[in-house]
Structure 1
Amino acid sequence: MSYLFARRALVRQLPVAAACALMSAGAAAEANPYYLKAKQAFSHDSNIFRSREGSEQSERISSTGLEVGINQPISRQRFIANAHVERNLYRDNDHLDNTAYGVGLRADLETAGNIGGGLRYSNNRSLASFDSYTGASRVTERNMITRQDYGAHVQYGGASLLVLEAGYNHRDQDYSAEAFENREQRTDAVNAGVRYRPSDLISFGVSARYTRGRIPNYTPTTADKYKRRDLDFTTTWIPTGLSTLSARVSLTSTDHDVAEARDFDGVTGALSYRYKPTGKLALNLQLVRETNDETGYYFEEPDSPDDPLEPTALQETKLIHTMRVGASYEATAKIRVNTGVRYIDRRIRVQSGSGSDRTTVVDLGATYTISRAWLVGCNLGWTQRSAGDNSADVSFDYKSRRASCLAQLSLK
């Protein structure tokens, strides 16, 4: 009797035990929302200032960085925040030594009804890339760029066939070098539109966008103000579970008060295609056609969902065409290989003249995950720029080679 009683009691307790086990497994599987990363990298650049052939100067750089962050879902909402600081030391050009930093905040908001939206803020400071410079000569002083972006968006409709969307974006861009004061900009952009979503696999959108911008130091005595109007047509298509296509075509008109050479009336846009044929291989393609004045769309894509979006610095150009092809391959559970090719075609309009150039950038890298906490990796890169005919006043040819290796500790 005691045996039968004990057996029946055990049977009655099995559902409770199973439920407890599932809850424990779910809690264990839930990712820790907090993370801490520390890294040390060493790199070599054969042409640190992107100078003409025969004037190259190589450099070795040490970069020590620390990053903290949180990615926390709260009911229907999600809060994402990160902050990083990095100390960069140059062996031969110690006047370039700098401390870079950045903070990013994002809140994805959703109500129980059909209203959703989000808020974002970022502030980053780093050494300005010599790749983006224009002009007949190179500025070799330390030039720190500070970029502040914030904005909000809202949508009404939830999972409905039609969704109303609206948003606001603001950007400040400042340089520490006096020679780059004419690149500093302040922009505000608003947009409103509607999205038609006949299924989960495809959607179409149309919206109007209006941007007001100001270049406070276009000349030493004159500021330039401009207005930009866009009519955006967008679509997102998921033909299979392995690929995603996103596209935007915009009818764009820009009017400058002073820098009239940068006025533009025409078509801009962007195309992004992601394809993952296997669990190990991922491919992506990006095409962008944009003007110097764009504030809302010209972003570099993050390497992973955990990486923050880094806004591309506004350049002293009228029109930029960019093509980027990338691939990543999980060779093993611990080894990942990345490669990419980027082609940039610029139409340059500056006070000293006009012209064009074309830049090709190739990268190849690999990482090895030693353990859950430790990762090491190395990367090789090549850059080559060719100036167009009659462009000697605004650009010139150069080449550079880069190599870097890093070790990273991650705690979650």
Structure 2
Amino acid sequence: MPHAQRRLLLATACLAVWGSAAPAWAESNPYYYGGSLGINRVSNIYRSVFSPNDDTVATASLLAGINQPIGRQRVYADVNVNTNRYSKNTDLNNVGYSVKGGLDWSTVERLSGTVSIDNSQALSTYTERTALALRKKNTENNTSLNGVVRVGLVTKYSLEAGAGYRTRRFSADEYAQFEFDQNRFSLGLVYQPSPDLRFGVAGRLTNDKYPAYLPIFNGIPVGNPVDTREFERKDIDFTSRWVASGASTLDGRVSTGRSKVKQGVANDFSGVTGRITWAWQPTAKWNVSSSVSRDTGLESSFNNANTSAEQDRMTNSLQVNANYELTGKVFLTGGASTAKSRRINNDAAGSRVDDRDNAFNLGARWQYSRGITLGCQASKSSRDSSEVRYTFDANSYGCYGQILLY
């Protein structure tokens, strides 16, 4: 084992010992801080079918967060700053971060709402469908801003207005075709006859914009400039939430709408999309969540880690995740997902590309105390495609240690 990995494992053990001697903090404290150390073995970093590249990556993270009620309001935030170091591919070494926060607010009258922000930067997963395999560092930055305002009309009815903004950027020019900006607006009515039942209908307007770019590879142009592409999508969303019992909750959305090309070359879309999520807790030890979705373009990529953000793609997906409390301190986790997508090209022949993305993961963690956790996990992801260049198979496994002080 390389010296760097031995040092990291030793540091993880020392961190756990130090944490066990740390003073106990009252559970009522609204904040936490701490850190984590981990090592992972990855079999195919670049998600390539032609020449997979494996490596060992060590990750150290600093963590902090707050969840503070202030009168009728609540402020919350979670911050993660991490550094990743690769054993062989040192050019991929990077510093990443994620910041999530928000505000839940309400007035003495009938006004309430939420405001949230989510910003992260990390090494790209290299799962986007590029014509040429990229073999260099490529970091991905994602930003999301969302807000909802609710007005209680009468006891069982309320009016909801929402707005959101999303953006994605890459450091590698070869990925410029996958950058985007999205604006969303919605207005609807909610009917809640009981705490366990909720129905809603809303109109939603979405604008997706892919900036102009020049196709290049290793600094050399490999095609003609591509103009800006812009899409306008209008949907009517029918939503519901049903708490069937203390152990089962169903959330659903069925939308009918149309996406039209406002600028650039692409395909229009008209049809039905939606998502159903089921949270099920059959016993005190089991917790299972599952979802089924059908959507297009960007909306699919937000729900599925491996699926592409290409606008002309329709994706059907299924996801299942489970947690099991083996003992009071040992927990097991597992998950599986599959997504089948079809891209209709905007060429004269209307050719298509069919993909099937699959992912599986298993994990176990030991909760020594409220703030000290040791765990291991293994995962596998793969893609079968009608175009061989888009297929890949990747595995990873590793362990970590985490300490949080409250």
Contact 1:269 1:288 in 2 (8 A): yes
Give the corresponding residue for 1:174: 169
| Pairwise CA distance, 1:163 | 1.0
Q: 1:216 aligns with which of 211, 214, 217?
A: 211
| Pairwise CA distance, 1:257 | 3.4
Q: Please tell me whether Structure 1 or Structure 2 has the larger radius of gyration of its CA atoms.
A: 1
Q: Where in structure 2 are the equivalents of 1:331-342 lying within 5 Å?
A: 331-342=326-337
In 2, Cα distance between the equivalents of 1:32 and 1:407? 23
What is the root-mean-square deviation in Å for CA atoms of aligned residues?
Answer: 2.3
Q: 2:137 aligns with which of 123, 139, 142?
A: 142
Give the corresponding residue for 1:323: 318
| Pairwise CA distance, 1:384 | 2.3
- Where 1:347 maps in the other structure, the secondary structure is strand
Contact 1:299 1:312 in 2 (8 A): no
The one-letter code of the counterpart of 2:38 is: A
Q: 2:390 aligns with which of 396, 406, 409?
A: 396
Q: 2:179 aligns with which of 184, 194, 218?
A: 184
Give the corresponding residue for 2:15: none
Consecutive unaligned residues of structure 1, counting only runs of 5 or more, are 1-27, 301-310
User: Cα gap change, 1:29/1:90 in structure 2, threshold over 3 Å: closer, same or farther?
Assistant: closer
Give the corresponding residue for 1:369: 367
| Pairwise CA distance, 1:314 | 6.4
Contact 2:266 2:346 in 1 (8 A): no
| Pairwise CA distance, 1:226 | 1.3
Give the corresponding residue for 1:251: 256
Give the corresponding residue for 1:31: 28
User: Cα gap change, 1:262/1:68 in structure 2, threshold over 3 Å: closer, same or farther?
Assistant: farther
In 1, Cα distance between the equivalents of 2:170 and 2:279? 35
Query: Which consecutive segments of 4 or more residues in structure 1 shift more than 4 A?
Result: 311-314, 349-353
In 1, Cα distance between the equivalents of 2:392 and 2:317? 19
Q: Where in structure 2 are the equivalents of 1:226-375 lying within 5 Å?
A: 226-258=231-263, 260-294=265-299, 298-299=302-303, 315-317=309-311, 318-348=313-343, 354-375=352-373
Consecutive unaligned residues of structure 2, counting only runs of 5 or more, are 1-24, 215-224
Contact 1:156 1:164 in 2 (8 A): yes
Kindly provide the CA deviation profile for residues 101-122 of structure 1, in whole angstroms up to 9, marking residues without a partner as x.
Answer: 1222200011122111011112
| Pairwise CA distance, 1:92 | 1.2
Deviates more, 1:365-374 or 1:164-173: 365-374
Q: 1:84 aligns with which of 80, 85, 90?
A: 80
Contact 1:320 1:345 in 2 (8 A): yes
In 2, Cα distance between the equivalents of 1:201 and 1:141? 51
Overall identity of the aligned pairs, in %:
29
The one-letter code of the counterpart of 1:407 is: G
Q: Where in structure 2 are the equivalents of 1:70-81 lying within 5 Å?
A: 70-81=66-77
Kindly provide the CA deviation profile for residues 234-286 of structure 1, in whole angstroms up to 9, marking residues without a partner as x.
Answer: 00001111110000000121112355434211111111000001111011111
The one-letter code of the counterpart of 1:368 is: W
Contact 2:33 2:404 in 1 (8 A): yes
Contact 2:274 2:294 in 1 (8 A): yes
Give the corresponding residue for 1:96: 92
| Pairwise CA distance, 1:72 | 0.8
In 2, Cα distance between the equivalents of 1:364 and 1:202? 34
The one-letter code of the counterpart of 2:32 is: Y
- What is the TM-score of this pair, normalised by structure 1? 0.84
User: Cα gap change, 1:314/1:159 in structure 2, threshold over 3 Å: closer, same or farther?
Assistant: farther
Contact 2:158 2:190 in 1 (8 A): yes
User: Cα gap change, 1:224/1:144 in structure 2, threshold over 3 Å: closer, same or farther?
Assistant: same
The one-letter code of the counterpart of 2:201 is: V
The one-letter code of the counterpart of 1:74 is: I
- Where 1:182 maps in the other structure, the secondary structure is helix
Kindly provide the CA deviation profile for residues 328-366 of structure 1, in whole angstroms up to 9, marking residues without a partner as x.
Answer: 001111100000011122223568974021011110000
In 2, Cα distance between the equivalents of 1:325 and 1:159? 38
- Where 1:257 maps in the other structure, the secondary structure is strand
Contact 1:184 1:217 in 2 (8 A): no
Say whether 1:380 aligns with 2:385: no
Kindly provide the CA deviation profile for residues 356-385 of structure 1, in whole angstroms up to 9, marking residues without a partner as x.
Answer: 210111100000012233210000112221
Contact 2:265 2:346 in 1 (8 A): no
Contact 2:227 2:264 in 1 (8 A): no
Q: 1:152 aligns with which of 147, 167, 184?
A: 147
User: Cα gap change, 1:42/1:154 in structure 2, threshold over 3 Å: closer, same or farther?
Assistant: same
Give the corresponding residue for 1:203: 198
Q: Where in structure 2 are the equivalents of 1:97-136 lying within 5 Å?
A: 97-130=93-126, 132-136=127-131
In 1, Cα distance between the equivalents of 2:277 and 2:251? 5
User: Cα gap change, 1:87/1:128 in structure 2, threshold over 3 Å: closer, same or farther?
Assistant: same
In 2, Cα distance between the equivalents of 1:349 and 1:141? 29
Contact 1:290 1:298 in 2 (8 A): no
- What is the TM-score of this pair, normalised by structure 2? 0.85
Contact 1:77 1:110 in 2 (8 A): yes
The one-letter code of the counterpart of 2:288 is: L
Give the corresponding residue for 1:47: 44
Deviates more, 1:93-102 or 1:154-163: 154-163
In 1, Cα distance between the equivalents of 2:346 and 2:402? 44
